[in-house]
Amino acid sequence: MRRTLTTLRTLAAALCGTALVLTGTAATPAQAAGKALTPAWELRDSGSDARFRGLAAVSRTTAWAAGTKGTVLLTRDRGRSWRNVSPPGAGTLEFRDVEAFDARRAVVLAIGEGEASRVFRTDDGGTTWTETFRNADPKAFYDCLAFFDARHGIALGDPVDGRFRVLATGDGGRSWRVLPASGMPDALPGEAAFAASGQCVVTTRGRSGGRDAWIATGGAASSRVLHSADRGRTWTVTGAPVPAGDPARGVFGLAFRDRAHGLAVGGDYRAGQPSERAAAVSGDGGATWNASARPPGAYRSGVAWLPRSRTTALAVGPTGSDVTTDGGRTWRAFDTGSYDTVDCAPDGGCWAAGEKGRLARLTARSGR
């Protein structure tokens, strides 16, 4: 644990140009010597071949992953071992999102049309699960979920009758209700959310409970980001300068480090297709978005801020990972492995997940 913490302190300080980023400690000898550090993913053997698009980083030691074939995994030892805690009988379900409060409490979302969209909750580290929502509307398809605090959360569904569908919970995901559509702007023709990384809806989150939420969209003539300041009851919408005009293009993932500063990533998810404008940044809570001056070189599906950093974030996709140290204006590649999603815990532990059972922790390596 001590080695991991020192590595993350050193990495964050080197990337952000300060020795006081994650933990408030002084610069390490490596920093003093001027050695360059580069972030790196350290693969961990998950023992699974599932594709994990759902990921919840609890801490440096603990993380949850949710994926295909109804698979849910949990580690409590920095990824050295992963325990299969999948809900019984869920083998036909496609889990695309997981939100965890700690090592015992988590909520997972299964996607699909009609009854394939379901929500489960555990309070004992996955030993037992309770199904808390099963979609009964054949026109509805749920994509992702997010929580404001341990009680309040929302789940996002694709448009039904011309407007995005939003579920809400006030008891930690033990029960859900469909919010009225009257506060939701009309969807564009072909517009939808992408269940690619568990980041098509994100929130400000904290013990006191935030109220802001953002939705990422694509598949239409333009990419858009929707914002709610009242936990999903009413929404405003603005355009985002991310590739659009095709069902395979749009904003796939969002990350907000506070109510104002946000990042958007996306592009064209089809292999070999260009995504020249795969990232954008907002400094006003998503009211306006500016294209990154130097975006990632390809489609990216997941994005996360490094905790306690005002400028450093990570983005991942099937063709590699990138880091920004200037708040999303410019990005540089640091890994070529395939990942679908990324998440960072408040204590600085960052994790990534993707196809063929790929699960990894963020470390650092010395440059020349």
CB 254 within 8 A of CB 260: no
| Separation of first and last alpha carbons in the chain | 26
CB 187 within 8 A of CB 159: yes
List pLDDT tens digits, range 29-69.
334 334 456 899 999 999 999 999 999 999 999 999 999 99
pLDDT over 70 percentage in the chain: 88
- Residue 348 pLDDT greater than 50, yes or no: yes
The gap from C-alpha 4 to its chain's centroid, in whole angstroms, comes to 22
pLDDT over 90 percentage in the chain: 85
State the pLDDT confidence band at 180, using cuts at 50, 70 and 90. Answer: very high
How does strand 332-335 pair with strand 341-344?
Answer: unpaired
Residue 132: phi, psi to the nearest 5? Answer: -110, -10
State the pLDDT confidence band at 18, using cuts at 50, 70 and 90. Answer: very low
- pLDDT value at residue 38: 84
pTM of the model: 0.91
List pLDDT tens digits, range 165-176.
999 999 999 999
- pLDDT value at residue 184: 97
- Residue 368 pLDDT greater than 90, yes or no: no
Q: Stretch 118-140: mean pLDDT, rounded? A: 98
- pLDDT value at residue 2: 36
